[in-house]
């Protein structure tokens, strides 16, 4: 969340950020409650001072054996006033906290202003979409021909928006996950984590999914636990309410997880095949870094995710998101989109974001700089490194042959026991 003092001193900037992000947050009400809270705090301080003065007076009067009933009654009234104001302050602070949780992060100055994805800016492309001497098939046709994707059985056991990968399809998914984890741990220096796939409210609030996105999440009401929408949530919360040392930073984590999102396939968009599903696999990248390096770390994070696609020889583009397409918690975000020849479109396979200290404030993650006593909030970043099954879609559709087979990229063959082609 944003610092309340920052909002107080930069209210116009915060209002502009809310507008540009297309969010809803009542800054005027927040500042009004903040003024009331500060006024009450002053009254409480005055009453406590008055109580101390009366208390000292009573002590002196006792020494002098003087009558103190009036003074005791006065102190009782003051104590009652303090208790009443403390209760009012407690309610005010809860309201302020709820309002603070509804205020989005401020977009970085380099983020283009725009209302939706049409204002996102392509900053680079890599590779060229393959050219075929035949009409390339979409992945759902290839999956059926090769017997590696069974959508009817998935619908039977779970409903629409779910997948069953079979045989070499399941093997290919596992190969992609292992390949990515090996790349990020062995070459890029990330530490592998296998996190829980369910988290509590504190974790979801810490990374910014709650309260805004609760309706989009899968909640197990009996235990008040959420199925994770991304491994970002449990991995980033590993250091919640911790004070780190400067020497601890930077911290790089990578994690495989299944991800669960209720909103997938909403409004009838991209509901065919594997493009939008309620459950999918992903390899996540998470960073805890010092504030002065976070934007350099963001660029490196994007490069780490890009290398996955480069090694798979999948053409892609990188877009910087505009304010209106930026997530609630992010200050800046790049989307990496792989080209898929069968559906003839770019598909988002990674979003890489810098949250600056927004998540760290919500979670209470700080570090102590060397030689300086004052704690500072870390900056957190995360990105997909990368997400499935859209990467699988691009692979199947770009590597297909006229005979309906799929050529396995060379880097994956060791993970497939040398299989070069899915027939």
Residue 267 confidence (pLDDT) above 60: no
* Structural domain 4-101, CATH architecture: Orthogonal Bundle (1.10)
Residues classed as catalytic: 261, 276, 348, 351, 390
Mean pLDDT of all residues in 162-190: 98
Residue 287 confidence (pLDDT) above 70: yes
DSSP output for 193-258: E---SEE-HHHHHHHT-TTTTGGGS-EETTTTEEE-SSTHHHHHGGGTT-EEEGGG-SEEEEEEEE
Mean pLDDT of all residues in 313-323: 98
Written as six digits, the tokens of 265 are 């396939």
Residue 264 confidence (pLDDT) above 60: no
**pLDDT the model gives residue 407:** 98
Domains 4-101 and 117-422 belong to one CATH topology: no
**pLDDT the model gives residue 75:** 85
**pLDDT the model gives residue 268:** 52
Mean pLDDT of all residues in 278-296: 98
The model's confidence at residue 68, banded by pLDDT at 50, 70 and 90, is: confident
Selection from 213, 290, 215 nearest residue 249 by Cα: 290
- CA 299 to each of CA 25, 201, 302, 332: distance values in angstroms, whole numbers, following the listed order: 30, 31, 5, 11
Out of 3.20.20.105, 3.30.930.10, 3.40.80.10, 3.30.1550.10, select the CATH number for domain 117-422.
3.30.930.10
Residue 269 confidence (pLDDT) above 70: no
**pLDDT the model gives residue 63:** 87
Could you state, in order of their start, the residue ranges of all structural domains in the chain? 4-101, 117-422
Mean pLDDT of all residues in 189-208: 98
Mean pLDDT of all residues in 367-382: 92
Percent of the chain whose predicted confidence (pLDDT) is above 70: 98
**pLDDT the model gives residue 265:** 47
**Which residues contact residue 272 at a Cβ distance below 8 angstroms, ignoring those fewer than 6 apart?**
138, 140
The model's confidence at residue 270, banded by pLDDT at 50, 70 and 90, is: low
Residue 131 confidence (pLDDT) above 80: yes
The model's confidence at residue 335, banded by pLDDT at 50, 70 and 90, is: very high
Mean pLDDT of all residues in 203-229: 96
Mean pLDDT of all residues in 342-369: 98
- From the number of C-beta atoms within 10 Å of its C-beta (0-12, 13-18, 19+), residue 282 rates as buried
Mean pLDDT of all residues in 7-21: 98
β-pairing, 243-245 with 279-289? unpaired
């Amino acid at each position: 969340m944003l610092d309340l003092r920052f909002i107080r001193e930069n209210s116009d900037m915060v209002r502009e950020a809310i507008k540009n992000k297309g969010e809803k947050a009542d800054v005027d009400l927040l500042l009004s409650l903040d003024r009331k809270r500060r006024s009450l705090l002053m009254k409480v301080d005055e009453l406590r001072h008055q109580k101390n003065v009366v208390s000292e007076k009573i002590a002196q009067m006792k020494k002098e054996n003087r009558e103190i009933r009036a003074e005791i009654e006065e102190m009782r009234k003051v104590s009652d006033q303090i208790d009443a104001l403390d209760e009012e302050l407690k309610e005010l602070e809860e309201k302020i906290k709820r309002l603070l949780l509804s205020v989005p992060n401020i977009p970085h100055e380099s983020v283009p202003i725009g209302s939706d994805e049409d204002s996102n800016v392509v900053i680079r492309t890599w590779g060229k979409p393959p050219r075929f001497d035949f009409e390339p098939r979409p992945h759902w046709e290839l999956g059926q021909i090769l017997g590696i994707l069974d959508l009817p059985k998935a619908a039977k056991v779970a409903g629409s928006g779910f997948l069953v990968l079979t045989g070499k399809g399941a093997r290919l998914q596992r190969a992609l996950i292992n390949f990515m984890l090996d790349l990020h741990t062995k070459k890029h220096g990330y530490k592998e984590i296998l996190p829980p796939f369910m988290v509590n409210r504190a974790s979801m609030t810490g990374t910014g999914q709650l309260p805004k996105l609760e309706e989009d999440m899968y909640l197990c009401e009996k235990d008040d636990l959420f199925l994770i929408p991304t491994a970002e949530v449990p991995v980033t919360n590993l250091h919640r309410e911790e004070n780190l040392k400067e020497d601890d930073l930077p911290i790089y984590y990578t994690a495989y997880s299944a991800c669960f999102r209720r909103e997938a396939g909403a409004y009838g968009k991209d509901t065919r095949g594997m493009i939008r599903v309620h459950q999918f696999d992903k390899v996540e990248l998470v960073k805890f870094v010092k504030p002065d390096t976070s934007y350099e770390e963001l660029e490196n994070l994007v490069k780490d995710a890009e290398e996955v696609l480069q090694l798979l020889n999948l053409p892609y583009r990188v877009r910087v998101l505009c304010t209106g397409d930026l997530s609630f918690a992010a200050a800046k975000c790049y989307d990496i989109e792989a080209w898929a020849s069968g559906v003839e479109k770019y598909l988002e396979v990674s979003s890489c974001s810098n949250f600056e200290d927004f998540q760290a404030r919500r979670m209470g993650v700080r570090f102590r700089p060397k030689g300086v006593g004052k704690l500072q909030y870390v900056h957190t970043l995360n990105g997909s490194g990368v997400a499935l099954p859209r990467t699988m879609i691009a692979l199947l559709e770009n590597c297909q042959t006229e005979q309906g087979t799929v050529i396995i990229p060379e880097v994956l063959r060791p993970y497939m026991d040398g299989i070069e082609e899915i027939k």
